Amino acid sequence: MVGLKKGRYVARLAETESDIRAAQKLRHLAFHGTEGLDADDHDVICTHILVEDRKSGQLVCCFRMLPLATGNDISQSYSSQFYELSALEAFEGSMVEMGRFCIHPEWHDPDILRVAWAAMTGYVDENNVEMLFGCSSFKGTDTDPYLDSFAFLRDRHQAPKRWLPRIKAPKVFQYAKGRRRKPDLKRAQMKMPPLLRTYLMMGGWVSDHAVVDHEMNTLHVFTGLEIKAIPPARKRLLRAMSS
């Protein structure tokens, strides 16, 4: 995975403090729209991935990964601050939390997301990871623009009962218990974050509620993906990209 090159982009591990600082700057710009540093205590214990433009060296995407040996360690995750995840403690395989994923707001090339997923695929294969999880964020804290998306998640992509995250955060939107709105599928897809769309295309699932996170100015849903659930054709495509 280290030094993965695809087209005009390269994905690599952050190796220095300046690499991590660059990621923190991009995260602040992407999440808050201003200059600054988005940093927390999890940065120290995570592996950071950078996606850069090969010609200019511009950082265009970043995310971090927290490897966990089994579900017994899930209380160490960032997500556990917001979701009651005791059900996932029973997961026996290795897990990775994928977090703080962002793309530079001035870059809109879909290949950036593809390269990021190719890098993640390489990491998953190299480390025999059996589940990816994290928080998938909708911009802003107003639920109205996303009602079709939430209805779509309710109807098609709720977590299996054995893994279902429970409510922990003080303010949430329980879309699974809302009015039985029939979603407009086109609008639902348009409003869905690209990262979440990719998770779902691979067989991912979500919590039955969204957390209202005023600090990050987002609505986010817990998202999980068991690697064995990824359709074989999509696995082949991802592995071809990561090789």
Which pLDDT does position 219 carry in this prediction?
97
Residue 88 to residue 41: CA distance in whole angstroms: 23
CB atoms within 10 A of CB 67: 15
Are 211 and 141 within 8 A, CB to CB? no
Which pLDDT does position 232 carry in this prediction?
85
Q: What's the predicted TM-score (pTM) here?
A: 0.92
Mean pLDDT, all residues of the chain: 93
Helix (H, G, I), strand (E, B) or coil at 162: helix
Tens-place pLDDT, residues 52-74: 999 999 999 999 999 999 999 99
CB atoms within 10 A of CB 168: 14
Tens-place pLDDT, residues 21-61: 999 999 999 999 999 999 999 999 999 999 999 999 999 99
CB atoms within 10 A of CB 182: 9
Residues of the chain under the 70 pLDDT cut: 1-3, 178-179, 241-243
Closest to 213 (Cα-Cα) out of 38, 71, 73: 38
Are 159 and 91 within 8 A, CB to CB? no
- Beta carbons within 8 Å of 214's beta carbon, 6+ residues apart: 141, 171
Which pLDDT does position 57 carry in this prediction?
95
Q: Residue 233 burial (CB < 10 Å; 0-12/13-18/19+)?
A: exposed
Query: In the block, which residue shows the tokens 């109807």?
Result: 155
Which pLDDT does position 243 carry in this prediction?
61
